[in-house]
């Protein structure tokens, strides 16, 4: 296969078969057309996201990581993200060899390991298994993350990418709602600190197991039926050596180099745990996802606007996300500077200080998902085929994981002063703006994969017409 920027597979190869399958979609049973529909596939992927990463967030949000000390919990997360980074770096070759479906299956099989570790830690106090599970689940989840990133950037029809990504990001962030609801049910009375029983982690473990059968329902890209009738462009399978070369080339590409600081930014803070009471933290975790839903779908409608070119939408999306992030971080830093001068103790929801101090956290839980959703939309705007989406997603996820690993490592040292994490993140955000602006201003007005698909379809139709005329 030639360079991804010029790759145009033979129209009479697998792509022609995919095209024929789409033309004959009326002959496919209704249930199979519904199953293969791009929206159905995105929903199946979103369910997996809820059962896996979202449940991991929910458990973390319960506090202490299954009665583990904050330090042990941060060590677990640091190891987990370190393994994620390593696997994501090699994820492009792995996923393109296995196929997206089987990479998702492999990753889903490791989700329950994390839940079982929290259960064992809560029941028997063996924190060594919790730390070990961080490495094991990091490997499996890393493989799943790369496949997921490639899928979310590939499945959606061009005019609905923003809304599809909003659906995914909302499912991804509903975990804290579950964790908040459980926590609030045990700590709704003022002054109480209800513990999380081992049975609670059994419930999480069961939900994590549900991801596997949904992973088995994923269909290969070439069989996906998009709502607008377009098909997904796929490339030929490369050798392992070529795939390794491609991922190395991707890591040094303009797309990844200019977006790496953006990927590196994370929510480095123990703000909620430091300044709020147990029941206030539970309530905060419960209500934060609701505005996330509104914000993500709102951004999705902007990014899917039919009245603006793709580059203009990319620019407006960047302005929106940056302005919201800057406002929230300035507000957060001001509040934490006040807290450092006059420690408010543990703020409860009936305190007069609660609204002004909680709102920064509330909006951070929205601007973070908004930033992530926007970035995957932008990455998908440059792709020439599904395999390149996998490589780009793997590279971006690798950098994200490195940032999160460092963040949790920092939290083990700066738990008493969350202002440090916010200032570092704010600085990274400021440094990322100029490279991101340069990248956004080079966004193509059409997705290269769409252009390639049209050229291939035109070549197929021309060949068919010539053969028809010669036969006649």
What pLDDT is recorded for position 452?
87
Domain extent, residue 369, equals 14-18+28-225+249-454
Quote the tokens at residue 72.
Answer: 């042990």
Nearest by Cα to 67 from 114, 138, 112, 124: 124
Total domain count, the chain: 1
Residue 283 domain flag: yes
Look at the alpha carbons of 417, 420, 425, 427 in this order and tell me if their dihedral is positive or negative.
positive
Nearest by Cα to 356 from 326, 332, 323, 327: 332
Quote the tokens at residue 88.
Answer: 């994501």
Q: Are 447 and 386 in contact (CB under 8 A)?
A: no
What pLDDT is recorded for position 62?
66
pTM of the complete model: 0.84
Residue with tokens 């792709």: 383
Q: Are 130 and 121 in contact (CB under 8 A)?
A: yes
What pLDDT is recorded for position 203?
84
What pLDDT is recorded for position 465?
66
Distant-in-sequence, close-in-space partners of 298: CB < 8 Å, separation ≥ 6: none
- Report the chain's C-alpha Rg in angstroms: 23
Residue 467 domain flag: no
The CATH number that applies at residue 83 is 1.20.1250.20
Q: Distance between CA 166 and CA 46 in Å, rounded?
A: 10
Residue 465 domain flag: no
Residue 449 domain flag: yes
Quote the tokens at residue 237.
Answer: 């399978």
Average pLDDT, consecutive stretches of 10 residues, N- to C-terminus, the chain (472 residues): 40 39 60 92 94 83 57 77 85 84 94 88 83 89 91 90 92 79 74 67 89 94 86 82 86 91 70 74 77 88 92 95 90 84 83 85 82 92 90 88 73 61 82 95 91 80 65 61
Look at the alpha carbons of 292, 109, 35, 380 in this order and tell me if their dihedral is positive or negative.
positive
Cβ neighbourhood burial of 40 (10 Å; 0-12, 13-18, 19+): middle
Residue 431 domain flag: yes
Residue 301 domain flag: yes
Residue 472 domain flag: no
Residue 109 domain flag: yes
What pLDDT is recorded for position 107?
93
């Amino acid at each position: 296969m030639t360079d991804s920027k010029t790759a145009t597979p033979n129209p009479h190869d697998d792509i022609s078969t995919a095209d024929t399958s789409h033309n004959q979609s009326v002959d496919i049973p209704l249930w199979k057309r519904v199953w293969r529909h791009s929206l159905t596939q995105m929903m199946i992927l979103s369910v997996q996201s809820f059962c896996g990463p979202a449940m991991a967030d929910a458990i973390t949000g319960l506090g202490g990581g299954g009665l583990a000390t904050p330090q042990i919990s941060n060590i677990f997360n640091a190891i987990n993200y370190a393994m994620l980074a390593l696997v994501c770096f090699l994820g492009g070759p792995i996923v393109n060899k296995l196929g997206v479906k089987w990479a998702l299956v492999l990753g889903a099989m490791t989700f329950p390991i994390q839940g079982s570790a929290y259960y064992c830690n809560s029941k028997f106090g063996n924190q060594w298994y919790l730390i070990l599970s961080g490495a094991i689940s990091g490997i499996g989840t890393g493989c799943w993350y790369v496949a997921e990133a490639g899928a979310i950037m590939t499945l959606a029809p061009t005019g609905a990418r923003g809304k599809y990504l909003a659906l995914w990001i909302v499912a991804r962030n509903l975990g804290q709602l579950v964790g908040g609801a459980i926590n609030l049910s045990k700590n709704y009375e003022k002054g109480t600190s209800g513990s999380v029983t081992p049975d609670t982690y059994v419930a999480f473990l069961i939900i994590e197991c549900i991801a596997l059968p949904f992973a088995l329902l994923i269909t290969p890209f070439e069989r996906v039926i998009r709502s607008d009738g377009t098909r997904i462009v796929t490339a030929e399978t490369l050798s392992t050596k070529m795939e390794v070369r491609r991922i190395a080339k991707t890591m040094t590409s303009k797309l990844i180099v200019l977006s790496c600081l953006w990927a590196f930014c994370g929510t480095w803070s123990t703000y909620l745990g430091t300044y709020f009471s147990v029941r206030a933290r539970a309530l905060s975790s419960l209500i934060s996802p609701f505005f996330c839903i509104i914000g993500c779908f709102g951004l999705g409608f902007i990014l899917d606007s039919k009245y603006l070119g793709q580059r203009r939408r990319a620019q407006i999306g960047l302005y929106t996300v940056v302005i919201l992030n800057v406002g929230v971080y300035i507000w957060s830093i001001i509040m934490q500077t006040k807290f450092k001068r006059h420690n408010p103790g543990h703020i409860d929801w009936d305190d007069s200080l609660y609204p002004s101090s909680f709102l920064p956290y509330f909006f951070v839980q929205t601007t973070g998902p908004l930033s992530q959703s926007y970035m995957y939309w932008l990455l998908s705007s440059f792709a020439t085929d599904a395999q390149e989406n996998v490589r780009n997603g793997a590279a971006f996820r690798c950098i994200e994981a490195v940032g999160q690993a460092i963040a949790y490592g920092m939290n083990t040292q700066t738990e008493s002063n969350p202002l440090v994490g916010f200032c570092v993140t704010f600085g990274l955000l400021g440094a990322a703006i100029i490279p991101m602006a340069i990248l956004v201003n080079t966004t193509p007005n059409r997705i290269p994969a769409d252009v390639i698909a049209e050229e291939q379809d035109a070549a197929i139709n021309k060949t068919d017409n010539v053969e028809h005329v010669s036969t006649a």
